[in-house]
Amino acid sequence: MKKKIIILGSTGSIGKSTLKIFDKDKKNFSVFLLSANTNIKKLFYQAKKFNCKNLIISNQIKFNEALNLNKQSDIKIYNSFEELPKILKKNKIYYTMISILGIDGLKPSIILSKYSKNLAIVNKEALISGWDLIKKNIKKYKVNFTPVDSEHFSIFNTINNYSPKEIDRVYITASGGPFINYPKNKFRKILPYQALKHPNWKMGKKITIDSATLMNKVFEVIEARNIFNIPYSKISILTHPNSYIHAIVLFKNGLIKIVAHEPDMKIPISNSIYRLNNTFIKSKKLNLEILNNANLKKIDISKFPLITLLNNLPNYNSLYETILITVNDFFVKKFLNNKINFLELNNYIIKFSNLKEFRKYKLIKANNLKKIYQLKNYVSFKLHTLGI
């Protein structure tokens, strides 16, 4: 019997990469469900190619459009992730990839951690805002969880046999995006099209902007603290323009482990599926030129001030992380729509994340899904009243 798989966000870069891997192994897997937000043309193409009978389209307008296009088809189309329990019923899913954007990925992550044998999550916002809720289900239902961000995947495969107490320090790397060597006095004139030109990775617009500001590294440090239960004091960031080294772990026994691989997300994705029995990724020769010129450096805070948001975060999953996500989402959209410049993008994120009204949420643990979504909606409403 073929193993059932689910991919949420199948039309995005991670979703498409995941389907490419399964396309080579159709005899062992069947695609049970795919989802998209607006790209219904691509979604229908994927459904036809992989004979997928269940689709979720979260955008209401595109959902209605899809229903009109699907009148003669046997494909079932749904509009909400809340319908997942009804769709799944007693189906046990062998592998689920959650690669949708934003905090809206939290609810399906919690639901699918109940129905999946193997759960891969690349959605930063879910792992940041509601990790405790996901972790509770992972333990309860004995799910094999794999973080798919290249940094966390590297750490995950390095510290398996160690306890957090045996780890001295963890370094995650940052390419620095397109502006690692860009003159700071020109930052004000940076335009969205420039910020979207990532030198190493092909990603969606929002995450590419986060890479340009290094807000993605703020999120990744929070993810690492959550997933691996390592205090912030033991996690550091190093710039590494080549994106070849993804993590460095120093252990108290004197060992230093460095994890490197080509900047290709199919490597962590395929390993989350096949683990050590992976025959669908061919190893390339060791790149000695990059290793001999790794160019690892500490973050230049004057260029990337968002890193200071990591100061004074509590060493537990708090509601404040939902505020960071919401504030960042709001101002990234403003920047992409040419409403604010690149310096203002950084300054506004810091300014509004540090409002006294918001800082108090550092004291409240994020252990209630309803409160997380209520806070997200409240912060969004507050920001929309700014008139920026």
pLDDT tens per residue, range 330-388: 999 999 999 999 999 999 999 999 999 999 999 999 999 999 999 999 999 999 998 88
Q: How far apart are CA 301 and CA 299, in angstroms?
A: 6
pLDDT of residue 298: 95
Closest CA to 115 of 147, 81, 138: 138
Q: Extract the tokens encoding 207.
A: 């995450």
pLDDT of residue 366: 95
Cβ atoms of 128 and 222 closer than 8 Å: yes
Q: How far apart are CA 346 and CA 180, in angstroms?
A: 15
Q: How far apart are CA 320 and CA 318, in angstroms?
A: 5
Tell me if residue 198 falls in helix, strand or coil.
coil
pLDDT of residue 103: 92
Question: pTM for the full model?
Answer: 0.93
Q: What is the mean pLDDT of residues 207-233?
A: 95
Q: Looking at the predicted structure, is the pLDDT value of residue 277 above 90? A: no
In the chain the domains, ranked by start, together with CATH numbers, are 3-148 (3.40.50.720), 150-305 (no CATH), 312-388 (1.10.1740)
What Cα–Cα distance (Å) separates residue 149 from each residue in 54, 62, 221, 230, 376? Answer: 27, 29, 12, 17, 24
Q: What is the mean pLDDT of residues 138-162?
A: 94
pLDDT-derived band at 55, boundaries 50, 70, 90? very high
The two beta strands, 29-36 and 3-8, are parallel
Q: What is the mean pLDDT of the chain?
A: 93
Q: How far apart are CA 182 and CA 178, in angstroms?
A: 8
pLDDT of residue 279: 59
Closest CA to 241 of 320, 300, 184: 300
Cβ atoms of 375 and 365 closer than 8 Å: no
Q: How far apart are CA 305 and CA 205, in angstroms?
A: 21
Q: How far apart are CA 52 and CA 86, in angstroms?
A: 17
pLDDT, tens only, 94-147: 999 999 989 999 999 999 999 999 999 999 999 999 999 999 999 999 999 999
CB-based contacts of 350, cutoff 8 Å, min separation 6: 305, 306, 308, 309
pLDDT of residue 269: 93
